[in-house]
Structure 1
Amino acid sequence: MQNQQLWENFIAGNKLAADTLDTKIADSWKSCLRAEIDPYLIKPQKILSAAELFNKQQQYSKLIEVVREQIKMFETNFILEKPVFILTDGTGNILWRDGNLQAQENANEFYFREGTMWTELNVGTNAIGIAIRTKQDEHVTSEEHYAFASRQWSCSASPILDEEGDVLGILDISTLHNDSAKDALFWLTMLTQRISNTLIREELERRKELLQYCILHQPNELLCDTHFKLVSIPEKDSERYELGNDIHNYIDAKTIYKSEKIYLKNKLIGYKMHIFTKSSQPNKFYYPGVPTTNKAYSQFLKRVLKLASSNLPIHLFGESGTGKEVLARTIHYNSAVGGGPLIALNCGALNQDLLESELFGYAPGAFTGSNVKGQKGKIEQADGGTLFLDEIESMSMRMQTALLRVIEEKSIMPINGEPRKVSFRLITASNLDLRTLVQQKKFREDLFYRIYVCPVQIPPLRERMEDIRQLIVAFCKKKKWHMNWQDKLYSISCTYSWDGNIREFNNFLERLYLFYELQQPTDTQIRQLIEEGTLAPDVQKKTATAFLGSTKHKLSSKSKAKEAEKLQEVLEQNHYHISKTADELCISRTTLYRKMKKYGLK
């Protein structure tokens, strides 16, 4: 029976007959079926964000560089029709792609591109996923793929191993409509061996240089290689630390560490590690957001700092774009576990099966297609630090029950594994009101009371409009944009409510920079760019303020009296400081002077 007919029968619910398929392929199909992977899936569940992909590419920059060099040297040996070269990390995240442009466009249609996790449990049976599992060269013909979208591709994959035999990455060659990729497997194997040898040789050279650095400088700090393995320990610390161990094994909730990169000839060769207890740290407030000039938001941040100093669970909620992740980082780095890991997971980005393995991890050999060494879950990774669960309202009832058990028992049970004790700070966030969800029986009441201990509602941007000026300044600094019309931009921006908050405002600034980096736009052009990114441009104009400096219609006598009263109040609060008053009212100084004259205020 042809593989196409086998596949159609299998996804229809029929069992595979013995010896009808290669054992690896048959096992993989069965694993996909158990994991309830949709064979007609187009968009995979797990795709890295732009920031996550950037960080991965930075982490594996040397691997990408070596792969590019080697492919350039040997690509003429690959006599293939429209090949596509794919490089992943050791867990299947696609880091880099090159090859025939037409074939790459076809690959984009089902997300076979940078940022996608190309594993068996994310996209079905494929050569990359099997090679990760077996650590061997693998070939998957078009009809052996589990997902329909991949069944026009023929793929060969070969692992790139480090000096300990662990999978550092996977190099794949894929072609359309035929199985010619199998013919390239010999050259692919040779290529990955050259890449592995190059990386191992350079790693040994880095270690040699680091040891020479130790001999020459005799540092008083702990020294680690680029993998954070200890290579030099001061005599005073010799009883506590052991050479070759991972430095992270010595970090707990009571300690904080900082790493200082060591370079030799512009090449990273290791790290100096500074480790100290929390109590020895200066009492400084860390806030990764833009500095605020709003009194109410300053008080809000003081409350956040107070909450951070406790070990109580915190729940963040508020409108979209208000900066929940920034607040989570603020809480973590100002807490007693600030020196430990901050592990974040968006619960709404994964289906419930993937969420379970991501949260709890799994033991070696837990299921077909899993990492042979097992995998630590996010909860275990957060041990000694903070676990941040965003969009927690997306959790199924089953997952809510599992999380509740972890919170109550302070231990986790990896899939097919043994219980493990964990200690972490829990921060959760939601876009929806959990109280309403509890009333609607969509969220467990007992879990609600476990995580809703310290609820924090993040104020929207329209309640701290003064900070728009700070956001503009920060954006210009980041872009090195020497804009001489910030006052005009600020005044116009303050006439909108920014329902998408900081995210919407930053999106607008990006558009503004794109179109008007070298010239000053008119007021109308600025407003047009603002309204391009709003959900409801006709209702986004700010109406909360009584100061209508940018409007042309007349005020009633009652409104005039109210405006004069408010103007007098703000002037007195700022001791008649004109610039501060104008900023607080989101109007220009000229408009303020005009209104003061109009109402006889001096």
Structure 2
Amino acid sequence: MEPFRLAALSDRLPASAGQTQGVDPGDISRSWQRCRMAGLAPEQNRVDQPHFSSAERRVAAERRSTLITHARPIMDYFYGQIKDSGCVMLLSDDTGLLLESAGDLDFCNRAAKVALTPGASWAEDARGTNAIGTALIEGKPIVVNGTEHYLRHNSFLACAAAPLTEPGGKLLGVIDISCDSRRYHPHTFGLVRAAAQMIENRIFEISFAHNTKLRFHYSSECLGSMVEGAIAIDEEGVILGANRSGFALLGLRPEDIGTQEFGRYFGLTMRDLIDMEHRAGGRPLVVHPRRGETLYVSVEQTRGPLIRRPPLSAPEAPKLDALAALDTGDERVNRAISQLRRVLGRKVPVLLQGETGAGKDFFARAIHEAGPRANGPFVAVNCAALPETLIEAELFGHAPGAFTGARKEGSAGRIREAHGGTLFLDEIGDMPLSMQTRLLRVLEEGVVTPIGGKPVAVDFLLVSATHADFSTRIAEKTFREDLYYRLNGLAVSLPPLRERTDLPALINRILEREAQGRQVGTPRLSPELAKAFAEYRWPGNLRQLSGILRTACLMLDDDETELCLHHLSEEAMLDLTTQQCAPKNVEQPGGTLRAQSDAMIAGAVSEAGGNIAAAARALGISRNTLYRRLAAMRTH
């Protein structure tokens, strides 16, 4: 393709391009230039565009559930204002994927012909110049009307869109109102910007419902209005988040969130703020951040007096969050939680080590939910479950048609999906060596390069988990030593269930979850079953315990309040009872639970003179189970 010339572009642009009030005329010009450079043709066939299947839409909606939950009520309200005007209101994520819609049936049917429906991607490099995709790139509200659309089959549309950002400044998506270009009204641009601001303010208020907030404006009459600036601060005065007006009024940047104190922008210390707020008696504070400026500030507190710290000797109140929910009394688990708390919000990579089933996945999600990235995505990848031929595309993504069998619309990849949130790499020790090199580069540079695509900046918290012995893997040259040190910002070892001292509390916690809705309440363990559980070695750890209790609860009658041995599956009952009955001083091959169980079965069959029915009765299991175990023993 010959080099693109902006002059040639201007010849093709409609005379009205960028003439909408409040829209920069250069927005459309830049967009058309990008479309040309991306290889799009104005006459491009609409059927070539990507569209998610129903299953893919559900997965995408689950990943953006927080955005949808906060935006849907605002969409319903604004659609009530434009109903019967021949419009459709749309919500997209930060890639341009349409998530939700609300609109008049007659226009929706016409819009569906150009895939202006949930599941379609309206990224600019796929659909050409359009309000959604172009607003994402330009990072500001925009209108694309009629022939300003790059693809000619979209020229019947008029679309106004505004980007949505979270309180930390990260782009969340776009809200859009589209209609027939002949029915477009300039007020639509104002409506969509107001809708975006209401959604962002709603996200801000819910995200910091329990934090001290400062509301401010250069006009006292604007306090309490939709245009007021707002920031949330912690007890040290560090800014935790801001609404759109807060970013604009203070000149905040996304990188300032979590790193800068409010005093830098207000010309106050925390002590000044406390004293002024005390003297004001509920009236707005008047501050002078810079010479000649007057800022009116309202302080909103939700948890008692502002920064009234207890004496240093007073114990800090425990935080009731997702990590606290995992603390059921074991000293080693409590120590692990305390260590994790110290790095929350610090972007320190966490490495969770422990046996299979010890709860590493529960801890990974709790780290995410207890930290400042809780509103972002939590993306979990099991490195051991992915075929080596697919793990590269799954993790790093790929450009459209990058390889044989690749999705024609391309894939962002799990790393990019975790942008702004947490990436959990389970069984990281089993990652292929070639992928370890690529992952190390991502961690060092903060950039991921899809297969056949261009580098993209990413920001996520990395949590890894493994049962592997890294020292052995490194010595065997199957795991990179430099990657290990990148992963090991904080290494936390989780104890196996057999070594934990909080088994009764864990059992109660699981039973409460599994028995929800039972009229007779949470069941308890019979003394016999409690003794068997206490003496069992639990080779499958928490995963095995949860599975056994889940099945046992399903076996309870409606009026039963006690779990007994006979409520367990035959396999679980056999494992528990054979371990109880096995002689403690008998050495078994390898000392394993399976070896003890096999010895118990062989002894019962021998004592019954080979009578399978009699041996099964003596063991308390069915003949089918006994036959199955005997067959397995013969193959050992």
Q: TM-score range by the shorter chain?
A: 0.3 to 0.5
| Structure with bigger gyration radius | 2
TM-score normalised over the length of structure 1: 0.47
The one of the two structures with greater contact order (alpha-carbon pairs below 8 A, sep at least 6) is 1
